Amino acid sequence: MPELRAIQIDESIKGRIAIVTGGAKGIGAGISRVLSSAGAHLVVADRDEPAAEKLAASLRATGAGATAISCDVGDTAAVTQAVKRIERVLGAVDLLVNNAGIGDFVSFPDISRERWDRMLNVHLTGAYNCCHAVMPDMLRRRFGRVVNVSSVAGKRGDFIGNAHYTAAKAGMIGLTKSLAAWAAPYDVRVNAIAPGIVDTELTREMSKPHQATTISRIPLGRFAQPDEIASVVLFLLSDASSYVIGETINVNGGSYLD
Ligand SMILES: NC(=O)c1ccc[n+]([C@@H]2O[C@H](COP(=O)([O-])OP(=O)(O)OC[C@H]3O[C@@H](n4cnc5c(N)ncnc54)[C@H](O)[C@@H]3O)[C@@H](O)[C@H]2O)c1
């Protein structure tokens, strides 16, 4: 247990090996930057290799340690291989953020089986793949922190009926609770966040009327910026949240309260 004093968040992140999936752009890039400035060695794991390399290079330019890795989180063999490579080159993984994701703003009748499978594969199977590759070693070492990026949609559902996204995000909340209860006795903590709408490429795919309706339902009256999500992830990965287990924290400007 950390000492009962003002906990230095950065002290508990400094020198840690951190994987952020989908870490090259949007919320993931915000998380990568915040963790890097707190002193972690960042592994930017993204299927967009040039973007991952560009972000890692920008972190290295600040003097931080950062590595880019090209990986599709939905590909079990590729994730296993990537984690083995990281462990061989950098050492054991301390922090994992399952953030990689895609948008697909369609109504239920338009969700073909192919779209359904793709959505569940990236979000839910992706989180499973990364946890499965990383967590057994965390339990052996009796140290690890995992944050799953779910969504307000996973708690509340979505107004336009894109049920594949909401089902995948709700699944990530269940995955978080189960893994959290299993891992907590080994000082491995698993939590999640449920962001509302964040200003990224993913939400720029929403139609203008859909964006306007969504903003009208947010008491804060605006979308979030990636760094406002990243700071909550930093809290969950740090010792400042040492007694928080299996929680899914809303970061939604008041758009959904539970
Ligand atoms: N933007 C929002 O409003 C919002 C709200 C709630 C939750 N989220 C969640 O936050 C996460 C990040 O979203 P964002 O808005 O930053 O999206 P984004 O599109 O801006 O960035 C997503 C990143 O994930 C990467 N990626 C996509 N599929 C991948 C795969 N199979 N393997 C590896 N990398 C992959 C992309 O290349 C990209 O770098 C997603 O899980 C999303 O569902 C977003």
Q: Which of 83, 102, 173 to mutate to test the pocket of ligand 1 (most atoms within 8 A of CB)?
A: 102
Tell me the average pLDDT across 134-143. 98
Provide the residue ranges of all domains of the chain, joining segments of one domain with +.
Answer: 9-251
pLDDT tens-digit readout, 90-109:
999 999 999 999 999 899 99
Architecture of the 9-251 domain? 3-Layer(aba) Sandwich (3.40)
Q: How many percent of the chain have pLDDT more than 90?
A: 88
Ligand 1 pocket by C-beta < 6 Å: which residues? 21-22, 24-28, 46-48, 51, 71-74, 99-102, 122, 126, 149, 151, 195, 197-198, 200-203
pLDDT tens-digit readout, 157-216:
987 778 999 999 999 999 999 999 999 999 999 999 999 999 999 888 788 888 898 899
Q: Do residues 46 and 72 touch, judged by C-beta distance below 8 A?
A: no
Q: Do residues 191 and 246 touch, judged by C-beta distance below 8 A?
A: yes
Closest residue by CA, ligand 1 atom 23: 22
The rounded distance, in Å, linking the Cα atoms of 20 and 229 is 14
Helices (H), 92-125: 113-120
Atom of ligand 1 nearest to the CA of 24: 39
Task: Tell me the residue type at 205.
Answer: E
Indicate the pTM of the whole model.
Answer: 0.97
Kind and range of the H or E element at 21? Answer: strand 17-21
C-alpha neighbours within 13 Å on the C-beta side of residue 113: 0
